[in-house]
Amino acid sequence: FIIGAILTPPDVISQVMLAVPLWLLYEAGVLVVSIVIFLPFSNELYAWLAQPLLKQMPAGTHMIATAVTTPFLVPMKVSTLVGIVACLPYTLYQAWAFVAPGLYEHERRFIGPLIVASTVLFLMGMSFAYFFVFPVLFGFVATSTPQGVSVMTDIGSYLDFVTTMFVSFGVAFEVPIAVLLLVKFNLVKVSALKEARSYVIVGAFIIGAILTPPDVISQVMLAVPLWLLYEAGVLVAQFVEPKTAT
């Protein structure tokens, strides 16, 4: 904004129109640097990512690559995703610093911690999928494989699968944030959220069925945390609900 104020006429719109592209360019540069840092470790990162499946595969089996460029491109995609996740806190901080000057003091006190909490919850969702859901899911798949069938998963298909699961669980863990925002801005009352509990439970299982593969285990392991996180959001929301004037 300082650069925008110097290089543009003294009006807010011109300053913002210059500051936004500069900010985006700077963020893109940081993202590229973050990705480049992880590129040399692409193969190691994919090996770590594949561990939940490899540990459950029968002895003597292994993952395969069905395309010519897959062994090169898939590990690069993994390092790119890791780079994006690694710089996510910094990116959110910069976004916060960008909008903070236009917020009131009480809004800054609320939104600032909310950004930190949303980042932590998203990472917690990804960690929950990796450490708890994947071992159970892949173990079930390995033990239910028909006789005479060898489990030889394509590494590209595996990356697509785990990426979908990471995003699904990461977004699901943002439920408390959504609940807090709805209550804080007086869009929904806490009492209404409590009354909707039965619908939320049904909706959690429907969302689990949509966002996860067609197996009961992953659906339940997404739906149950989704419901519990909703309850946690309702519990915390009672402390931020605007007081009704009497």
Task: Give me the helices (H) in the chain, please.
Answer: 2-7, 12-38, 42-54, 70-86, 88-99, 105-128, 134-143, 155-172, 175-184, 190-195, 197-211, 216-237
pLDDT of residue 211: 75
Low-confidence ranges of the chain (pLDDT < 70): 1-20, 213-214, 244-246
The set of residues, in sequence order, having a beta carbon less than 8 Å from that of 229 and lying 6+ positions away, is 172, 173, 175, 176
R_g (Cα) of the chain, nearest Å:
22
Tokens in use for 158? 């595996």
Tokens in use for 242? 């605007």
Planar angle of CA 82, 85, 86, nearest 5 degrees: 80
Q: How many angstroms separate the CA atoms of 82 and 85, rounded?
A: 5
Beta bridge partners of 64: 154
Q: How many angstroms separate the CA atoms of 121 and 214, rounded?
A: 25
The set of residues, in sequence order, having a beta carbon less than 8 Å from that of 69 and lying 6+ positions away, is none
The answer to whether the beta carbons of residues 187 and 172 sit under 8 Å apart is no
Q: How many angstroms separate the CA atoms of 141 and 163, rounded?
A: 18
DSSP code string of 126-155: HHHIIIIIHHHHHHHHHHTPPTT-----BH
Q: How many angstroms separate the CA atoms of 185 and 189, rounded?
A: 10
Q: Rounded to the nearest 10 degrees, how much is the dihedral formed by the CA atoms of 60, 65, 71, 74?
A: -110
pLDDT of residue 7: 46
pLDDT of residue 241: 84
pLDDT of residue 78: 95
pLDDT of residue 38: 94
pLDDT of residue 156: 93
Tokens in use for 155? 């590494």
Q: Is 212 left (phi over 0), alpha (psi -120 to 50) or beta?
A: beta
Contacts 24+ apart (CB under 8 A), 67-72: 67/156, 70/154, 70/155, 70/156, 71/155
Q: How many angstroms separate the CA atoms of 43 and 72, rounded?
A: 9
